[in-house]
Chains A and B, each alone.
Chain A
Amino acid sequence: MIRIGDAPSVRRLLIGIALTLTALLLLLPLVAIFAQALMSGIDVYWQNLSDTYTLAAIGLTLLVAVITVPVNLIFGVFLAWLVTRFAFPGRRLLQTLIDIPFAVSPVVAGLVYLLLYGRNGWLGGWLDAHDIQIMFAWPGIVLVTVFVTCPFVARELIPLMQAQGSREEEAAVTLGASGWTIFRRVTLPNIRHALLYGVILTNARAVGEFGAVSVVAGAIRGQTNTLPLQVEQLYQDYNTVGAFTSASLLALLALLTLAAKAALEWRAARRETAT
């Protein structure tokens, strides 16, 4: 059967344009990151990586991810369970609300947290009086990162759990299983790939967030610089090789994220053809 656009000339032309544009728009920037980072040789690369400020930025970035990912994992699972397993008034509204972080510019996200917790903010006076520093310190960075990444897990789970329905879980209830057992033995095996993918996306965004974090971080070097902020600071200081060294770590993580996504999709497709 002949399909639209299957003539060899059309096919070759379209594939040619697509590959050229992909190479120019996506592959070239990726190559450029590593080329710039290694421009002065591998020794300088290691030297830049083991710089005290860079190491501190790596540490802070890991801390942010280690707190953000579990918080949003737990929230995402509870929210998905709530909106896919129960009917209640306001369900649609709740689903719309959690999409807000996707719609909001990250700078606006940073601003609203600054207004709330900053010195002149609603809670600022109380926090000041009790000597608790949230803005321009790591707790502020964690808070805005939780805000920015909170839809990812729920967004992966909700369509899947909606499609799967609750028959299996209801059967488990009639067999007398407790809530935790039902979740662990019935729900979790069904959603684990989507859950893992949600976690991967949350982690990628948590590590790479820039706009929101740069508003609340205040950039005290070595203290409140996450890796993306470190990239910016080095770049503004005309230390291009240093900036791209830190950037190459983030690019590596992005590549791992893409590989994990491809692997998960591949396994899902294989399971589909097997059944």
Chain B
Amino acid sequence: MIAQALTRRRERRVLPGFGLSLGVSLTFVSLVLLLPLTSLVGQLSQLSWSQYWFLITDPRLLASYTVTLLAAAVAALFNAVFGLLMAWVLVRYEFPGKRLVDALMDLPFALPTAVAGITLATLYSSNGWIGRLLEPLGISVSYTWIGIALAMAFTSIPFVVRTVQPVLEDLPAEVDEAAMTLGASDGLAFRRVILPYLWPALVTGTGLAFVRSLGEFGAVIFIAGGKPYETEITSLMIFVKLQEYDYAGASAVASIVLATSLALLLAINLWQGRFIKRLHGGRG
């Protein structure tokens, strides 16, 4: 039976290059991805549990977790609304300059994060173009968590737009028709009929924006200023510890960041997989 299975598998491989592409891929993945990540595990294994616990519960670090999570959540929620609006406007309406606006949506991925960082810091500083207007209103963005959230929101703009856009494009026309013939108002029809269709893409996009925001560094540090206990994000803490040659501390913090983002990404993938299965199951 095993021999049969093997020949069947062999039969399926009619195309050449299996050995070569497997060899190249495994070598690359081992050397570039796995080996460096194991070195993190190696560094951590030198710590005892109590040492590890002590390192990751340092009060200054705990404050950084709070700021990072809070700002990333605000940024992701903003992008859920903004991304949905942009996807809707770009798919449903025609207006001059639409192609340009569409292309601009990808700017945050194309622009280096350090450039975004110094630009936002300059715009929102107390004598910057926007900061100057906000100051009389008593709103300061620079050196506060609002600035951190703003920078995170900027770098993760494309996620929601680009996940919702294709789903909205493929929306069957009957959906609109059904809602309109029932005489529902725009708001009600959108909430009850369209939003359920977009929901999986919206949640996936928002989730990805959140994960990206948690790890963002270059765009955030300039506008954040890095005041201990107030505007230090967690990835900056890794950087600070490295500058003090505290490799154990940096590794401990890195393990928290890494585990959080991998767990979130896995959850998003599982959630997405479940949804796709349900969709295919429903359609047969």
Contacts of A201 in B (CB 8 A): 109
For chains A and B in complex, what number of residue pairs have CB atoms within 8 angstroms?
276
The CA of A142 and the CA of B113, in the complex, are separated in Å by 18
A251 touches B111 (CB 8 A): yes
A104 touches B261 (CB 8 A): yes
* Binary B-proximity of A83-98 (CB < 8 A = 1, otherwise 0): 0011110000010111
A250-B111 contact, Cβ under 8 Å, with A97-B29, A262-B99: yes
Q: Indicate which residue in A79, A111, A229 contacts B238 across the interface (CB closer than 8 Å).
A: A111
A150-B33 contact, Cβ under 8 Å, with A1-B173, A231-B115: yes
Chain B interface: which size bin? 35 or more
The answer to whether the Cβ of A121 comes within 8 Å of any Cβ in the partner chain is yes
Q: Indicate which residue in B86, B88, B102, B235 contacts A211 across the interface (CB closer than 8 Å).
A: B235
A228 touches B218 (CB 8 A): yes
Nearest Cβ distance between residue B84 and chain A, in whole angstroms? 11
The CA of A86 and the CA of B25, in the complex, are separated in Å by 13
A107-B217 contact, Cβ under 8 Å, with A173-B15, A235-B118, A258-B104: yes
A18 touches B86 (CB 8 A): yes
B39 touches A211 (CB 8 A): no
The answer to whether the Cβ of B122 comes within 8 Å of any Cβ in the partner chain is yes
Which of A4, A11, A102 gathers most chain B CB within 10 Å?
A4
The answer to whether the Cβ of A147 comes within 8 Å of any Cβ in the partner chain is yes
The CA of A209 and the CA of B247, in the complex, are separated in Å by 22
Contacts of B92 in A (CB 8 A): 3, 5-6
The CA of A247 and the CA of B222, in the complex, are separated in Å by 14
* Residues on B facing A (Cβ under 8 Å): 9, 12-18, 20-22, 24-25, 28-29, 32-37, 39-40, 42-43, 82, 85-86, 88-89, 92-93, 95, 97, 99, 101-116, 118-120, 122-123, 129-130, 153-154, 157, 173, 176-177, 179-180, 186, 189-190, 193-194, 211, 214-218, 222, 235-236, 238-239, 242, 247, 250-251, 254, 257-258, 261-262, 265, 269
